[in-house]
Amino acid sequence: MTDKSTRMVLAALSRAAAAPEGSPLFALRGGSGLFPAAPAGRQAAQRCQEEGWLRVVSAENDVSAPTTPSVGDTALLVRKKLKTATEICHLTDKGLAWLLSQTSPREVLEDFLRALEARRAEALDLLAGLQRMQTGFDALKAGAEKVLERMSRPQDGAATESLVERFQRFHQGQPADARTVLLARMKEWQTADAAGDCPLPELFRRSQAGSPSPTIGAFHDSLRRLHDAGLVYLHPWTGPLHALPEPSYALLVGHEIAYYVSLKK
C-alpha cells in the first residue's frame, strides 16, 4: 500500500510525463498544476525536487490584485501590479524511471495516449481555424477583384487605373518576375546547402533583394503557381503548431501547413 503523499507524487509524475512542454508545479487560482497549493501538495513537490524527479524552471508573470486606498472621503478601487513566480516543471529521466518502477507502464502509456488525443484535437481545431481564415481571405480577394473590374473600365480615367495598379502591386506584383526571382533564390540556397529544404521565411527575405521584391501575398501566390506547375515541392511543418516560428510566412496547402520548399529536379 502506498501512502497518500506517494499516490499524489505518482499522479503528478504521470501527468508530467504526458506534458513534455512542461506543467505548472502548483495549481493556483483554479488553474491546472501538478500539485495542489496546500501544505501536503507543497511537501510532495519538495520531495520530487529533492529526489531529482522534477526539474523546475521559474518564470515571472504579472498579475493584478485589488487594493482600496482612500482619497478624501472617496474610496477608489485600483489594481496593483504584483509579480508572482510560476514554476514550470519537466519530468527528468530519473523521475520517469522511478515512476515506471512504482506503477504499471500501461497506465503511463494510457496517460500518453490521452494527451496525444487532446493535442490532436487542438491541432484539428487550429487547422480548421486556418482554413476558415483562408476561405475568408479568398472571399475578400474575389470581392476586391469585382470592384476593381468595375473601376478599371475606360470611363473611370487615369486615377482609377492607378488604384488598380496599386492593388496588383500589393497582392500579385509581377507574377512571372516574382516566380523567376524565387526560383533563382532557391537555386542559390540548394547550391549552398544541397541537403536542406529552404524555410519559407528565409526564402521571403532572400527574395526581397531582387527586383521586384514581392509582398507576402504575392510571395504565397507565386509559390502556389510554382507548386501547381510542378517546379517545386512544398514540405509541411511537422512539429507542434504552437512552436511554429514566424507563422505569417507559412502557407496552407490542402490540409497541410507548408513551411519549407525545395526545387524539383
Q: Specify whether 158 is located in the same domain as 180.
A: no
- How many angstroms separate the Cα of 159 from the Cα of each of 36, 128, 144, 147, 167? 67, 40, 17, 15, 13
What's the pTM? 0.37
- Answer for the pair 250, 186: CB distance below 8 angstroms, yes or no: no
Cell numbers 514554476 correspond to 87
How far apart CA 50 and CA 6 sit, in angstroms, is 14
Q: Residues with Cβ < 8 Å from 172, sequence gap 6 or more?
A: 217, 218, 221
Q: Give 233-238 contacts, CB < 8 A, sequence gap 24+.
A: 233/197, 233/261, 233/262, 233/263, 233/264, 234/258, 234/260, 234/261, 235/197, 235/259, 235/260, 235/261, 235/262, 236/260
Q: Specify whether 88 is located in the same domain as 141.
A: no
Q: Per-residue pLDDT for the chain (265 aa), expressed as one digit of tens each?
A: 468 888 888 888 888 887 877 888 887 776 678 888 888 888 988 889 888 998 887 664 544 444 444 444 444 444 444 444 578 888 888 888 888 888 777 777 777 777 777 777 777 888 888 888 888 888 888 777 777 777 656 554 444 445 555 555 544 444 556 788 888 888 888 888 666 789 999 888 888 876 566 788 888 888 888 888 888 889 998 888 888 888 888 888 877 889 999 888 7
- Answer for the pair 209, 230: CB distance below 8 angstroms, yes or no: no
Length of the chain: 265
Cell numbers 510542378 correspond to 230
Report yes or no on 110 lying in a domain: no
Report yes or no on 74 lying in a domain: no
How far apart CA 233 and CA 256 sit, in angstroms, is 13
Report yes or no on 73 lying in a domain: no
Report the relative pairing of strands 54-67 and 23-24 from DSSP bridges: unpaired
Cell numbers 527528468 correspond to 92
Q: Domain range holding 146? A: 117-171
How far apart CA 85 and CA 197 sit, in angstroms, is 40
Report yes or no on 76 lying in a domain: no
Report yes or no on 48 lying in a domain: yes
Report yes or no on 55 lying in a domain: yes
Give the CATH number for residue 93.
Answer: 1.10.10.10
In the numeric block, which cell numbers belong to residue 182?
524565387
Q: Specify whether 195 is located in the same domain as 166.
A: no
Report yes or no on 112 lying in a domain: no
Q: Specify whether 228 is located in the same domain as 249.
A: yes
How far apart CA 217 and CA 215 sit, in angstroms, is 5
Give the closest residue to 170 by CA, choosing from 231, 241, 106, 219: 219
Q: Specify whether 244 is located in the same domain as 254.
A: yes
* Counted domains in the chain: 3
- Through-space distance between the first and last CA atoms of the chain, rounded to whole angstroms: 64
Q: Output phi, psi for 130, to 5 deg.
A: -65, -40
Residue 81's pLDDT is what?
Answer: 43
Residue 27: CA atoms inside 13 Å, Cβ hemisphere, count? 12
